[in-house]
Amino acid sequence: MSIVVQNIERADASVADAFARFGVATVHEAQGRKGLMQPHVRPIYRRAHIAGTAVTVSVPPCDNWMLHVAVEQCQPGDILVVAPTSASDAGYFGELLASSLMARGVRGLIIDAGVRDVAELEVIGFPVWSKCISAQGTVKETLGSVNVPVVCAGQLVNPGDVIVADDDGVCVVTRAEAADVLAKSAAREDKEAAVRKRLQAGELGLDIYAMRDRLKAKGLAYIDAANRD
């Protein structure tokens, strides 16, 4: 059954927005190394960094009809997350749909399939993370669903979840955990800032993290090159 779920509950906007201060690697670590999409989903241009709330779309392979349906469900601060029901490298999305989404305040697109008009998308500043770049046209024949749970690039995404995306990839934070993960992300960044200074000053991670004893206990041996065979 093909459905459009309206009036979904979204993660708190102030929380979702605040994630844009943190990189995907930080958020992924802060929530216990989960939520990261597979690395084949890449940004079409570098230096984009967004956070927002997911509007999800389950689409048939090579059919982009439901994207038009999804636009209407978007509101400012959203990020569109599109997952085909079977693998496709067709170009579901281009500059016209981006114009439409920008008019509604949508911040970007995550799609486990192809995208086109990438030069224009960079010019107008609409970031996309996609499986590939492909001009291959799609049809408008078969229904899908909007705002149902989808698996996108190996991660379950529920409508309203927080999405964070940058040059390192895409991370999903569940609505329920968003505030907690945000706090942990900030804490992690603070801790890293302190470590960074010490590393830049020439201290070793071996000492900062006190690894030497555990390495020795595991049996790591130091040998002089001159003493090998």
* Interaction of residue 50 with its own copies, rule CB under 8 A: no
Number of residues that bind its own copies (CB under 8 A): 100
Cβ-based nearer residue to its own copies, 21 or 134: 134
Distance in angstroms (rounded) separating the CA atoms of residues 54 and 66: 15
Question: Do residues 136 and 89 lie in contact, with contact meaning Cβ atoms separated by under 8 Å?
Answer: yes
Nearest alpha carbon to residue 89 among 110, 108, 112, 57? 112
Q: Kindly tell me which residue out of 12, 17, 21, 85 binds its own copies, with binding defined by CB under 8 A.
A: 85
**Could you say which of 20, 69, 179, 186 contacts its own copies (CB under 8 A)?**
69
Binder of its own copies out of 14, 125, 183, 209 (CB under 8 A): 209
The minimum distance between CB 15 and its own copies, in angstroms, equals 19
Half-sphere exposure of 143 (CA within 13 A, CB side): 6
Query: Interface residues for its own copies in 188-207 (CB under 8 A)?
Result: 192, 195-196, 199-202, 204-206
Under the binding rule (CB under 8 A), the answer on residue 29 touching its own copies is yes
Q: How far lies 84's CA from each of 34, 48, 57, 138, 159, in Å?
A: 22, 24, 8, 12, 16
Tell me the C-alpha distance between 65 and 149, whole Å. 18
Provide the minimum distance between the beta carbon of 194 and its own copies in the complex, in angstroms, as a whole number. Answer: 11
